[in-house]
Amino acid sequence: MPYTIKDIANIAGVSTATVSRALNNKAEVNAETKKKILKVIEDCDFKPSTMGRGLSLKKTFLIGVVFPDFESSYFQMVFRGIEEIAGQHGYSFFYLHTNYNVDKEREALRMLRDGRVDGMIMLLSNKATDECKALVDMGYPVVLFGNDLENVDCPSVICNNFSSAYTIVEHLIQNGHTKIAHITGNRDTKTGILRLQGYQSAMENYGIKLRPEWNLETRYLKEEAYTVVKEILKAQELPTAIFAANDTMALGCYKAIYEAGLRIPDDISIAGHDDIDVASLIYPALTTMRQQTLEIGRTAARKLLDILQGNGYKKDINVLSTSLISRQSVKNLNQNQLT
């Protein structure tokens, strides 16, 4: 089995980023360390993909799209945007579902390194940061969406997750809610962390005490949200509102609340994030934050095509706006009406 850059780093006793810097002859690596790394590379007969380093003209006309969740129609709309733009340039697509499993994320990165795709559009967890950074530093074409990774110098397409979460929690507060639970997304992603921080900031700015027992983590999955909300509902004191970090999880909240014999929004209000297609179809229709999912895919595809066409490669964070969509799942406690 061929050695990977991580194998070389482990044998040399350095980070994957240091190996990539040595391969790219960066000045930050001292002569002794570089010599040791190059000796390990020689001994292991390690050969970085020449395509990824921009030294080969071979093209597969295949773009890898890496994402964590089959359930959410959020990703289906992103895919439509990617295919709309990149498909016009003759590219086909390989989709890899990771379920936030870091081993599957690393498998996807190996596909890029091995030249099986021309480039990748990816949503990765923070756990894959080092491996992604190493490939990006070596010139492999990568665009991130949904979750920007620290110190990875490639384009990314995201929303302002902090302010978006703040906005919807503020909406709940302005409708009289102070007992607000938050079902967070995966905290191995910057997205999950920033939405949690937005929730916390809104609560603190309005002088509302945070309740750790009402702040539970999931991997953005409906089933996991259903399970944690069932636990919340066993307590003597219940929240009057729940903010789920995405609409798919909000569906799990609906199921748990209805099974407990409670009503939405009369007993518990629900707010989500993303505005997937089903959000307007469920009863009561879900109050949520709308993301520009189609434009996320289009922008990511354009950024990757720029790289593949040799038009430059740099850190470029593209932040697309979100908007509050107020429907019938939030009760106005101030006026005893729905908003």
What pLDDT was estimated at residue 251? 97
| Rounded Cα gap, residues 257 and 261, in angstroms | 7
| Rounded Cα gap, residues 185 and 183, in angstroms | 7
Does pLDDT of 165 surpass 60? yes
pLDDT tens digit sequence for 217-267: 998 889 999 999 999 999 999 999 999 999 999 999 999 999 999 999 999
CB 147 within 8 A of CB 208: no
What pLDDT was estimated at residue 26? 59
For the segment(s) 161-291+324-338, the CATH number from 3.40.50.360, 3.40.190.10, 3.40.50.740, 3.40.50.2300 is 3.40.50.2300
What pLDDT was estimated at residue 31? 78
Instruction: Look up the CATH number of domain 62-158+293-321.
Output: 3.40.50.2300
What pLDDT was estimated at residue 4? 76
What pLDDT was estimated at residue 54? 41
Residue 194 pLDDT class (50, 70, 90 cuts): very high
H or E element: which one contains 188?
none
Tokens found for residue 11 = 């044998």
Does pLDDT of 56 surpass 70? no
Tell which residue, 211, 219, 259, 218, has the closest CA to residue 238: 211
pLDDT tens digit sequence for 180-191: 999 998 888 889
Residue 51 pLDDT class (50, 70, 90 cuts): very low
Residue 44 neighbours by CB distance under 10 Å: 15
| Rounded Cα gap, residues 178 and 269, in angstroms | 12
Section 42-48 average pLDDT: 71
β-strands 155-159, 316-320 pairing: parallel
pLDDT tens digit sequence for 9-41: 888 898 877 887 776 555 577 878 877 887 888
Does pLDDT of 304 surpass 70? yes
Question: Any idea what DSSP says for residue 149?
Answer: P
CB 244 within 8 A of CB 256: no
Residue 227 neighbours by CB distance under 10 Å: 14
Where does CATH 3.40.50.2300 sit in the chain? Answer: 62-158+293-321, 161-291+324-338
What pLDDT was estimated at residue 338? 53
